Amino acid sequence: MRKSSPLRPLIGRIRNKSLRRKVSEVVQNLQIQIGDAVYTGISFEDSPAGLSRHHSYPGGLVEHIAATAKIAFAFCDAVEEVYKGKVDRDLVLAGIILHDIFKPFTYEVNDGSYLTTHLGERLDHLTLAVAELVRRDFPLDLIHIVCAHHGGQAGPIWARTLEALICHLADQADSQLNGQVLRAARYLSRRVIGEEPSQFTSKEAFEVIRSKAVEGWEGARMTLEKIRQRRLGSN
């Protein structure tokens, strides 16, 4: 992991030394070898976390992991403080850090839009992660979290531990939060200026929906104009 890796502070919060070291090693050495081919994917920092449904902009994956960790910790607080249950926060945190770690291997950029790679058309990010974590001798309960993070309807298996359930729910919650805000901002933009700016960032999307809620259509129009000017200025 490079010094500036955005995942460093999260990894540092894993208290179990051996788990922390193993997670750090995966993040430092992100590559997949199949036969003679070595795959590395697009840069982790620039990767989206989805092609279109959620976090579909550069840096989206890092934001998704950070937000999902916060949501998962809120679930842990509720379990411990309200329900008086026990939860292994190290497993939850490691699971969140690793659950989508191979997404950058499944995306490539073409003319400013994202496409699925040769590898990504054959193996999804969840399968890649499970294979790599088995190869690296991770604990079964951690591999289960990654394997179950899409739930049993969209993935291979339902969560069978509290930690896996928390990671699944937190992942779903953040994907919905981000995806619905992006969708709303795109809709407002089409209604107000007749088009969508390419790749709304989360910051822009949250700005647009807030201005519409507080100041109405005119507020949304002014915010979209502000975003357009800002983008022109940064080019």
Q: Which residues contribute to the site for Fe ion (CB under 5 A)?
A: 100, 171
Q: How far apart are CA 68 and CA 48, in angstroms?
A: 15
Please, which residue, 63 or 171, has the CB nearer to Fe ion?
A: 171
Phi, psi angles (nearest 5°) of residue 189 = -65, -45
Please, which residue, 95 or 227, has the CB nearer to Fe ion?
A: 95
**What is the torsion angle, in degrees rounded to the nearest 10, for the CA atoms of residue 134, residue 79, residue 206 and residue 4?**
-50
Q: How far apart are CA 189 and CA 182, in angstroms?
A: 10
Closest approach of Cβ 99 to Fe ion, in Å? 5
Please, which residue, 88 or 100, has the CB nearer to Fe ion?
A: 100
Residue type, 120: G
Please, which residue, 150 or 212, has the CB nearer to Fe ion?
A: 150
Question: How many C-beta neighbours within 10 Å does residue 220 have?
Answer: 24
Closest approach of Cβ 171 to Fe ion, in Å? 4
Do 107 and 51 form a contact (C-beta atoms < 8 A)? yes
Our CA angle for 176, 12, 203, nearest 5°, is 35
Closest approach of Cβ 221 to Fe ion, in Å? 33
> Of all residues in the chain, what percent are helix, strand and coil, respectively (each to 5)?
65, 5, 30
Q: How far apart are CA 64 and CA 51, in angstroms?
A: 13
Closest approach of Cβ 120 to Fe ion, in Å? 12
Please, which residue, 79 or 101, has the CB nearer to Fe ion?
A: 101
Closest approach of Cβ 192 to Fe ion, in Å? 31
